[in-house]
């Protein structure tokens, strides 16, 4: 498998990246770790005459932590997320999810920005970012703007990001309470048959806050307000969980693929979400 020829650029700052994007328009693509884009190029399903490698752009691999907020540069890799002690302490769900992405080698290269930016419904981080209410920082010719992860995804591979914008950082509040990332897949390296990200805050023995999102069960990640509402105020007993699952099942729209037919996916979505909620609650 051999990709078509392209011109390769490795700018050292965002100005350089933006200039190249301006110059080449649709013919240019930015690349982070490359593990989504390169296979597509090798299969000649993605034509990229001008490839802009972000690896030398200064500052994109920074992690900053405060008591309230976490900011991850777009080029922070899954491997770093898994092995960063302070980050793991602050948001253990990031590690739990990152460990279920691809395999060790791919995690050294795969970045959170690449995982989040392109709108691949199979990727794990978009659902998780919605669960955590992350804000995506995009830089473009008009300057910088922030978009909520919950507003970013429009359809498969269609996002709020314009072609001349680049995702540079992801900011999220430090998650509170119990967490779980539950994923069913066929084997290591596979996308989810169904995956659920759950974060639950607890006060006085009851669910104070709940945020529930699922992956690869629609052409976009699904953060279900109805599911959240079904949990808040309850003691997270089986009937509340059931109600949350029912709400989520109302919001997803899986399609058949090699992982199985729709009925199976809907069933597994319910099982995976139930387990995730129960585990998050047990940790809350």
Partner 1 sequence: MSDKMHIKLTVNGEGREFLAEPRELLIYALREHLNITGPHVGCDTSHCGACTVTLNGKSVKSCTMFVGQANGADITTVEGLGTPDALHVLQESFREHHGLQCGFCTPGMITRAAKLLEENPTPTEEDVRFGMAGNICRCTGYQNIVKSILAAADEMNGSEQGQTVEAAE
Partner 2 sequence: MNDLTPNREERTANLKGMGCARKRVEDARFTQGQGNYVDDVKLPGMLHGDFVRSPYAHARVKSINKEAALALPGVVAVLTAEDLAPLNLHWMPTLAGDKQMVLADGKVLFQGQEVAFVVANDRYIAADAVELVEVDYEELPVITDPFEALQSDVVLREDLAGQTEGAHGPRKHHNHIFTWEQGDEAATNQVMDSAEVVAEESMYYHRTHPCPLETCGSVASMDKVNGKLTLWGTFQAPHVVRTVAALLSGIEEHNIRVISPDIGGGFGNKVGVYPGYICSIVASIVTGKPVKWVEDRMENLMSTAFARDYWMKGKISATKEGKITGLHCHVTADHGGFDACADPTKFPAGFMNICTGSYDIPVAYLGVDGVYTNKAPGGVSYRCSFRVTEAVYFIERMIEVLAIELDMDAAELRRINFIKKEQFPYTAALGWEYDSGDYHTAWDKALKTVDYEGLRAEQAERVEAFKRGETRKLMGVGLSFFTEIVGAGPVKNCDILGMGMFDSCEIRIHPTGSAIARLGTISQGQGHATTFAQILASEIGISADSITIEEGDTDTAPYGLGTYGSRSTPVAGAATALAGRKIRAKAQMIAAYLLEVHDDDVEFDVDRFVVKGAPERFSTMKDIAYAAYNQAIPGLEPGLEAVSYYDPPNMTYPFGAYVCVMDIDVDTGVPEIRRFYALDDCGTRINPMIIEGQVHGGLTEALAVALGQEIAYDDLGNVKTGTLMDFFLPTAWEVPNYETDFTVTPSPHHPIGAKGVGESPHVGGVPCFSNAVQDAFRAFGLRHTNMPHDHWRIWQTANKLGLHD
With CB under 8 A as the contact rule, the residue among 19, 27, 55, 219 that binds partner 1 is 55
With CB under 8 A as the contact rule, the residue among 26, 103, 154, 253 that binds partner 2 is 103
With CB under 8 A as the contact rule, the residue among 14, 18, 28, 35 that binds partner 1 is 35
With CB under 8 A as the contact rule, the residue among 58, 67, 188, 237 that binds partner 1 is 188
Q: Does 39 bind partner 1 (CB under 8 A)?
A: yes
Q: Does 45 bind partner 2 (CB under 8 A)?
A: no
* Binding span for partner 2 by CB under 8 A among 2-10, 30-38, 54-62, 199-207: 2-10
Q: Does 263 bind partner 2 (CB under 8 A)?
A: yes
Q: How many Å apart are CA 132 and CA 171, to the nearest integer?
A: 10
Q: Does 2 bind partner 1 (CB under 8 A)?
A: yes
Angle, alpha carbons 142-174-35 (nearest 5°): 60
Q: Does 192 bind partner 2 (CB under 8 A)?
A: no
Q: Does 67 bind partner 2 (CB under 8 A)?
A: no
Quick one: what does residue 38 bind among partner 1, partner 2, none, with the CB cut-off 5 to 8 Å set by partner type?
partner 1
Sign (positive/negative) of CA torsion 91, 97, 103, 109?
Answer: negative
Do β-strands 50-53 and 28-31 pair in parallel, antiparallel, or remain unpaired?
Answer: parallel
With CB under 8 A as the contact rule, the residue among 19, 109, 208, 243 that binds partner 1 is 109
Q: Does 54 bind partner 2 (CB under 8 A)?
A: no
The encoded tokens of residue 108 equal: 């050294």
Q: Taking the complex as a whole, how short is the minimal distance between the CB of residue 99 and partner 1, in angstroms? A: 8
Nearer to partner 1, 37 or 220 (CB): 37
Q: Taking the complex as a whole, how short is the minimal distance between the CB of residue 8 and partner 1, in angstroms? A: 3
With CB under 8 A as the contact rule, the residue among 16, 27, 38, 201 that binds partner 1 is 38
3-state secondary structure the chain: CCCCCCEEECCCCHHHHHHHHHHHHHHEEEECCCCCHHHHHHCCCCCCCEEEECCCCCCCCCEEECCCEEEEECCCEHHHHHHCHHHHHHCHHHHHHHCCCCCHHHHHHCEHHHHHHCCCCCCCHHHHHHHCCCEEEEEECCEEEEEEHHHHEEECCEECCCCCCEEEEEEEECCCCEEEEEEECCCCCCCCCEEEEEEEEEECCEEEEEEEEEECCCCCCEECHHHHHHHCCCCCCHHHHHHHHHHHHHHCCCCCECCECHHHHHHHHHHHHHHHHHHHHHHC
Taking alpha carbons only, the member of 135, 124, 134, 150 closest to residue 224 is 150
Site pattern 13..32 for partner 2 (x: CB under 8 A): --------------------
Q: Does 58 bind partner 1 (CB under 8 A)?
A: no
Q: Does 34 bind partner 1 (CB under 8 A)?
A: yes
Q: Which residues bind partner 2 (CB under 8 A)?
A: 1-2, 4-5, 43-44, 103, 184, 186-190, 193, 258-261, 263-264, 267-268, 271-272
Q: Which residues bind partner 1 (CB under 8 A)?
A: 1-8, 10, 31, 34-35, 38-39, 42, 51, 53, 55, 79, 102-106, 108-109, 188-189
């Amino acid at each position: 498998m051999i990709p078509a020829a392209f011109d390769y650029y490795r700018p050292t700052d965002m100005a350089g990246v933006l200039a190249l994007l301006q110059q080449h328009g649709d013919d240019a693509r930015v690349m982070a770790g490359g593990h989504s884009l390169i296979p597509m190029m090798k299969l000649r399903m993605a034509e990229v005459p001008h490839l802009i490698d972000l690896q030398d752009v200064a500052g994109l691999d920074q992690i900053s932590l405060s008591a309230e907020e976490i900011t991850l540069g777009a080029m922070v890799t899954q491997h770093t997320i898994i092995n960063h002690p302070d980050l793991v302490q602050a948001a253990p769900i990031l590690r739990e999810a990152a460990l279920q992405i691809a395999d060790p080698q791919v995690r050294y290269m795969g970045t959170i920005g690449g995982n989040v930016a392109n709108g691949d419904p199979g990727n794990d981080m978009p659902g998780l970012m919605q669960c955590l209410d992350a804000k995506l920082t995009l830089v473009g010719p008009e300057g910088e703007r922030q978009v909520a992860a919950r507003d970013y995804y429009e359809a498969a591979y269609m996002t709020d990001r314009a072609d001349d914008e680049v995702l540079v950082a992801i900011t999220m509040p430090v998650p509170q309470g119990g967490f779980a990332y539950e994923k069913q897949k066929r084997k290591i390296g596979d996308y989810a048959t169904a995956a659920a990200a759950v974060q639950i805050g607890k006060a006085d023995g009851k669910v104070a806050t709940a945020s529930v999102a699922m992956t690869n069960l629609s052409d976009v990640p699904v953060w279900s307000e109805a599911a959240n509402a079904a949990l808040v105020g309850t003691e997270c007993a089986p009937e509340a969980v059931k109600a949350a699952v029912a709400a989520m099942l109302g919001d997803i729209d899986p399609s058949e693929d090699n992982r199985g037919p729709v009925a199976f996916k809907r069933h597994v979505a319910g099982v995976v979400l139930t387990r995730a909620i129960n585990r998050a609650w047990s940790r809350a």
